[in-house]
Amino acid sequence: MDDEYSEGWWEVPISALEHYGYCPRQCALIHVEQTYEENVFTMRGSLAHDRVDSGDDAANRGVPALRGIPLWSDKLGLRGRADAVEMREGGPYPVEYKIGRRRGIAADLQLCAQALCLEEMLGASVTKGAIFYHEVRKRHEVRIDEDLRGRTLKAIEEIREMLGAQRLPDAPNDARCKHCSLIDVCLPSVVGEPDRLRGLQGALWYHYDVKES
Ligand code: SF4
């Protein structure tokens, strides 16, 4: 085993990059607390991935592609898999499949982490990849440039630190929450508002004291 895998050096799941990019608290709920809630978004996401696994998407037609392949980077401590990797003349080209439409760069971080793994595994340069959004049935091409690489490496280290500390970040309680599968376990409107949380805690202890007396 590599020296880097010493005690306290946590392996980061590639999928955690997207969760962290969307909301660090969502990432911690899934990867620290092992919470997973199915909702309409995750169910549609699973169906989208089933289509990839069955090779039932026409987007890659004519380009040789590997589907559902395991990925890793010993150097960065990453593990996960790619939905598809097209083997193009210009080099490997990862493709990630998402339900819904594009919201920010969260999925780009995941795609970049896949690219970093492919570069280490294959010794080839990965300069581009794509995210296919099922809701709009469109590919969004992503350049794996220095800026995205830097953001991805920073997120990997922040996730590793969060996993090591077993820490649950505060809830931002903003527009992201209504699309989040974990809203019912996260309770952002309660934990994101300290005054409301204190009021509910007070009410809880009041009822407990009344019952016990
Ligand atoms: S409900 Fe909101 S704060 Fe909670 S994990 Fe989801 S996005 Fe983050």
Per-residue pLDDT of the chain (213 residues; tens, 9 = 90+): 444 445 667 899 999 999 999 999 999 999 999 887 655 556 656 665 655 554 434 455 688 899 999 999 999 999 999 999 999 999 999 999 988 888 889 999 999 999 999 999 999 999 999 999 988 888 999 999 999 999 999 999 999 999 999 989 999 999 999 989 899 999 998 886 666 666 666 666 666 566 666
CA of 71 relative to ligand 1 center, distance in Å:
28
Share of the chain above pLDDT 90, in %: 59
Q: Which one of 18, 22, 23 would you pick to mutate in the ligand 1 pocket, going by the greatest count of ligand atoms within 8 A of its CB?
A: 23
CA of 170 relative to ligand 1 center, distance in Å:
9
- Whole-prediction pTM: 0.82
Domain range summary for the chain, segments of one domain joined by +: 3-169, 170-213
Tokens standing for 134? 């099922």
What pLDDT score was predicted for residue 54? 43
| Ligand 1 contacts CB of residue 186 (under 6 A) | yes
What pLDDT score was predicted for residue 101? 81
Average pLDDT along the chain: 84
| Ligand 1 contacts CB of residue 26 (under 6 A) | yes
What pLDDT score was predicted for residue 4? 46
CATH placement of domain 3-169: 3.90.320.10
CA of 100 relative to ligand 1 center, distance in Å:
17
CA of 20 relative to ligand 1 center, distance in Å:
11
What pLDDT score was predicted for residue 35? 86
What pLDDT score was predicted for residue 6? 54
